[in-house]
Amino acid sequence: MKDRDFKGVWIPKEIWNMNMQLSDKLYLGIYKTTNDINETDKIMGYTMSKSSILRIKQRLADLGYIKYIDDPEQAKQFVIDMLDEGDTCDWCGRKNYVLHEHHYPVSKSKGGVDTVRICPNCHANFHYVFKEDNNAR
C-alpha cells in the first residue's frame, strides 16, 4: 500500500473522552494542536459557519477550556497576571508560556540535533546578535 498524507484531524485522547459535543471536541483538538485561535477558526471555517464557530468558542470558554478575551485591556491584564506561570527558559531562567525549540549550539542547517527551549526574547536576541553566517555584529 502506498503511503499518503493524513487528511483528518487529530483529537487528543483526553479531549475525546470529555463530556462535550463532537464539534466542541473537534475545535478544542485543533486549537490544542495549533495553539492559535485564528488558525483554528480558519481550519474550522472550511466546514462550519462563523456563527457556529462563535457558539463553540463561547461554550468552551464557559466550560473553562479556552480563554478568549475580546477586550484589549483585559487581555493585557491576563498576560501580566500569568507572568509567573509556564515553563522556564533554558537561557534566562524566566517563566514563560511560549518557549521555542531552538537548535543550539549547532544550527539545524549545519546538521545540529541538540535543542534548547528558550523564550521569544532570548530567541530574538540571539538572532539579532548573530546573523545566518554566525558573524557577530
Structural domain of residue 25, as residue ranges? 13-63
**56 & 24 share domain:** yes
pLDDT reading at 78 higher than 80: no
**17 & 58 share domain:** yes
pLDDT per residue as tens digits for the range 82-119: 777 778 899 999 888 778 888 888 888 888 889 999 98
Q: Quick check: helix, strand or coil at residue 67? A: coil
| Nine-digit cell string for 104 | 543550539
- The band of 5, judged by pLDDT with boundaries at 50, 70 and 90, is very low
How many CA atoms within 13 Å lie on the side-chain side of 92? 14
Q: Quick check: helix, strand or coil at residue 115? A: strand
Classify residue 99: in a domain, yes or no.
yes
Query: Can you tell me the mean pLDDT for 18-28?
Result: 81
- Closest to 121 measured CA to CA, from 137, 98, 105: 98
Classify residue 3: in a domain, yes or no.
no
State the total domains in the chain: 2
Contacts of 102 (CB under 8 A, 6+ apart): 115, 116, 117, 118, 123, 126
pLDDT reading at 73 higher than 80: yes
Classify residue 30: in a domain, yes or no.
yes
Distance between CA 50 and CA 35 in Å, rounded?
Answer: 19
